[in-house]
Structure 1
Amino acid sequence: MSQTEGQSTNPTSNGNVNNRNGSNGVVYPSFASHRLRLNPSVDHKSDNYEDLQLDFSPLLFSSLERYLPPAFLNSSRDQKVNYMREILLRYFPEGERTRVQKHREYRQKIISNYQPLHRELYTMHAANFFVPSFLKAISENTEESYRNIMSEPSPGVLTFEMLQPRFCEMMLAEVENFERWVRETKFRIMRPNTMNKFGAVLDDFGLETMLEKLMEDFIRPISRVFFTDVGGSTLDSHHGFVVEYGMDRDVDLGFHVDDSEVTLNVCLGKQFSGGELFFRGVRCEKHVNTETQPEEIFDYSHAAGRAVLHRGRHRHGARATTSGQRINLLLWCRSSVFRELRKYQKDLSSWCAECQREKKERQRQAVAATKLIRFGPGWVRSPYSRANGEAATSEEKDVIGGSSHKVLQPEGLEELEVFRLAPDYFTGITQTSRSCSIVDQRTEL
């Protein structure tokens, strides 16, 4: 439904039009001023939106609801849908919605004509898919239970046994069957992303529901423990695919970050040599091409059935597969809430290693700046420390410009004051190295 932003009517999910004053007395702001809260209402129980015909995933609305302003939480479901929908439409223009509709039609055409080989793959059967140790950790759902089955060879890179051999065999056979159908029908398919020339999107030939359950019931609980800083607790959409490396396939994969908040990467097989993943630190957009620090260098060798879980912004790549064929299942897990909130972020990211180094460097320079700050003619020592660099007592004072000045300040004020007095000390520290690509989901044939 088309609507002019700021108009005083309120379209609901069923096409009706309501007055902008809700029945609960809330006066709804213009669409242009719609905002989400930074922190969710953790105790709020969201409505279910599965029965509505919406432009976006029902799970997306359920996730966003907890971030609504408090006055809206008890509004009618239609009013909440409209409020959230208008926020989403700001970042999802008509051209993009048209593209999504075409992709739905493309996907439906495949599903209507492709005959699955192993139909049991298309519904989640956890006991048949996963190894017992993984299921036990998920059922206990504690950090300790997860740590018991995982190793973390490099910060933020989690590895663990996950898939049963039979599942890997069936998935490999299903992918081969789909690719055979593609060749025989000469159907033109979309490849998984903008970097891989081979592989298939699992969601496109009917595995979307199973992969959605994989994200919701297995990856999101783990991410809620280990990746809360990048929206791990609010994962609400995914992109599932397989990639293929070897002779007549992709050989390697360049240095990149994923279009995801959390990435699951599981090797399905087959026999191969090479193909190691190399990791080079987590970075935000601003710092994606900054220098790698020695402690961030880590290489990982794949093994069938074993998973790697990491932040999507963890820079990585794949070395050449030198013999045989390697096929991996990947699940890019995304959080619409995290992406929305990042639009309002103004400070340094807590999850970007370079942001944290920059923050520490600013703090170090702030301390150094307090040792010698220029006040008019000549240089005087900082009013926040003794001349020998030791902390001053609350009784000590410096006389600056003929007036007394208290030495100690409330906690946190000193750094702010130094920034105000000595701005020239604080500059970004950015060193470029090897270019890092941002790999996106392919959206067109």
Structure 2
Amino acid sequence: NMSAGRPFRGCACFFTDNIFVARFGLHVRYRDGPQLRRDHGRALRERGCRSEEQFREVLREVEAEVQRRKQLIHQSVERRAIISKCYRPKHPEVYTLQDSFLAPEFLEIMRFCTSPGADLQGLLSYLESFSDKRIYRLPVFTEEFCQAFVDELENFEQSDMPKGRPNTMNNYGVLLNELGMDEPFLTPLREWLRPLTALLYPELGGACLDSHKAFVVKYSLHEDLDLSSHYDNAEVTLNVSLGKEFTEGNLYFGDFNQDPSPVPKYIEVQHVGGRGLLHRGGQIHGALPIASGQRWNLIVWMRSSAIRNQLCPMCRRKPELVEAEGFGDGFTEPLEEEEEPQTVDVCALG
């Protein structure tokens, strides 16, 4: 995958930063043991990590996660090759995005966004807005598609195919690039959304979202119940509720990570089948525990190389570029002749 002829890259901070210590609900940065103790010892103690043995366990956990991340690209490529060769889809039609999968209201919103004179004010009349946090809900998929898609995902889950974790915080779900869905399904979906994100999030590169990472997460009583507070490695996130039947498990949203307040105001948002929430990747959020049933969500982290090439959203530094596979983490190498832009068109940056 390329952006304007440039291959996508990752940032080296992936191997050192934002490592989640699940039992203490803490994200840490890791260089070595003494640094971990120095930077995070107090926060770990406050969360119940009080003995030396507990700290050593955390250290082992963190080191194992770093090793896992270092092997990730190679293992993902291997899994994808096996899946491509050996997996027999139950619903092969869901792998290629078709207009018929999209809710009629979604198509209507996109027609508005591409009409002459479309503006934010007009767009907001089509969307549900939540507080002042720039979180919006809109219909995305039909119920029929959601059912077929979840059925396909369950078929894959029950197969003996190799499976990667969606991310460091979810153990249950599917990385959609490993199912071969990036080009035929997710890239067209991102392109469908671009006129919408251009109006909603212009300063985040909403008009030039040029890559993504997409996965489906699954919550159930005996697996992942909930999700701790975090922000996404994305400029804009789409989170679509696919079903099935479940109770509770609302999402909650706090501050934007670049604009924290001393006492964050949280809001709760319910999932509605087939509908998607759009929010800024940097909006701190999490998921409350489900009380019964099973909840499947499609998460699409949408990225703009023009924005993130200036500043990595995870380490808040100029990205230190490393080789990556596919869309990587959405960074691109600077062009040789690139100069500082004279205008403030964010999509011309990068």
TM-score, scaled to structure 1: 0.53
Is 2:174 aligned against 1:200? yes
| One-letter identity of the residue aligned with 1:176 | E
Aligned pairs (5 A) from 1:224-373 = 224-284=198-258, 291-294=262-265, 297-342=266-311
Return the match for 2:104 from 132, 135, 147: 132
CA distance, structure 1, for counterparts of residue 11 and residue 264 of structure 2 = 35
Return the match for 2:150 from 172, 175, 197: 172
> Counterpart of 1:188 in 2: which secondary structure?
coil
CA distance, structure 1, for counterparts of residue 293 and residue 71 of structure 2 = 41
> Counterpart of 1:255 in 2: which secondary structure?
strand
Indicate how the Cα distance of structure 1 residues 320 and 260 shifts in structure 2: closer, same or farther if over 3 A, else same.
same
Indicate how the Cα distance of structure 1 residues 292 and 114 shifts in structure 2: closer, same or farther if over 3 A, else same.
farther
Is 1:223–1:233's contact at 8 Å kept on the other side of the alignment?
Answer: yes
Aligned to 1:211: 186
Q: CA deviation at 1:302?
A: 0.8
Aligned pairs (5 A) from 1:24-103 = 57-58=1-2, 60=3, 62=4, 100=73, 103=76
Asked which structure has the greater RCO (Cα within 8 Å, sep 6+), the reply is 2
Unaligned 5+ segments in structure 2 are: 16-68, 317-327, 330-350
Return the match for 1:153 from 130, 139, 142: 130
Is 2:76–2:178's contact at 8 Å kept on the other side of the alignment?
Answer: no
CA distance, structure 2, for counterparts of residue 277 and residue 263 of structure 1 = 13
> Counterpart of 2:168 in 1: which secondary structure?
coil
> Counterpart of 1:108 in 2: which secondary structure?
helix
Aligned to 1:115: 88
CA distance, structure 2, for counterparts of residue 99 and residue 251 of structure 1 = 25
> Counterpart of 2:309 in 1: which secondary structure?
helix
Query: Percent identity over the alignment?
Result: 33
If you compute each CA radius of gyration, which structure gives the higher value, 1 or 2? 1
CA distance, structure 2, for counterparts of residue 277 and residue 130 of structure 1 = 23
CA distance, structure 1, for counterparts of residue 89 and residue 10 of structure 2 = 38
Give the total of aligned pairs: 255
Is 1:137–1:145's contact at 8 Å kept on the other side of the alignment?
Answer: no
| One-letter identity of the residue aligned with 1:317 | G
Aligned to 2:141: 163
Is 2:83–2:162's contact at 8 Å kept on the other side of the alignment?
Answer: no
1:311-333 per-residue CA deviation (whole Å, 9 max, x = no partner) reads 01000010010111111111111
Indicate how the Cα distance of structure 1 residues 89 and 270 shifts in structure 2: closer, same or farther if over 3 A, else same.
closer
Indicate how the Cα distance of structure 1 residues 244 and 112 shifts in structure 2: closer, same or farther if over 3 A, else same.
same
CA distance, structure 1, for counterparts of residue 287 and residue 11 of structure 2 = 32
> Counterpart of 2:125 in 1: which secondary structure?
helix
> Counterpart of 2:136 in 1: which secondary structure?
strand
Return the match for 2:78 from 101, 105, 111: 105
Is 2:240–2:274's contact at 8 Å kept on the other side of the alignment?
Answer: yes
> Counterpart of 1:191 in 2: which secondary structure?
coil
| One-letter identity of the residue aligned with 1:120 | E
CA distance, structure 2, for counterparts of residue 202 and residue 89 of structure 1 = 19
1:49-99 per-residue CA deviation (whole Å, 9 max, x = no partner) reads xxxxxxxx22x2x2xxxxxxxxxxxxxxxxxx5xx66xx779579x99996
CA RMSD in angstroms comes to 2.9
CA distance, structure 1, for counterparts of residue 254 and residue 210 of structure 2 = 27
| One-letter identity of the residue aligned with 1:342 | L
Aligned pairs (5 A) from 1:396-415 = none
1:164-195 per-residue CA deviation (whole Å, 9 max, x = no partner) reads 100110111010010111xxx3x432110000
CA distance, structure 1, for counterparts of residue 151 and residue 72 of structure 2 = 31
CA distance, structure 2, for counterparts of residue 158 and residue 275 of structure 1 = 18
TM-score, scaled to structure 2: 0.66
Unaligned 5+ segments in structure 1 are: 1-56, 63-80, 348-439
Indicate how the Cα distance of structure 1 residues 145 and 177 shifts in structure 2: closer, same or farther if over 3 A, else same.
farther
| One-letter identity of the residue aligned with 2:147 | E
Q: CA deviation at 1:147?
A: 2.0
CA distance, structure 1, for counterparts of residue 172 and residue 10 of structure 2 = 34
Q: CA deviation at 1:129?
A: 1.0
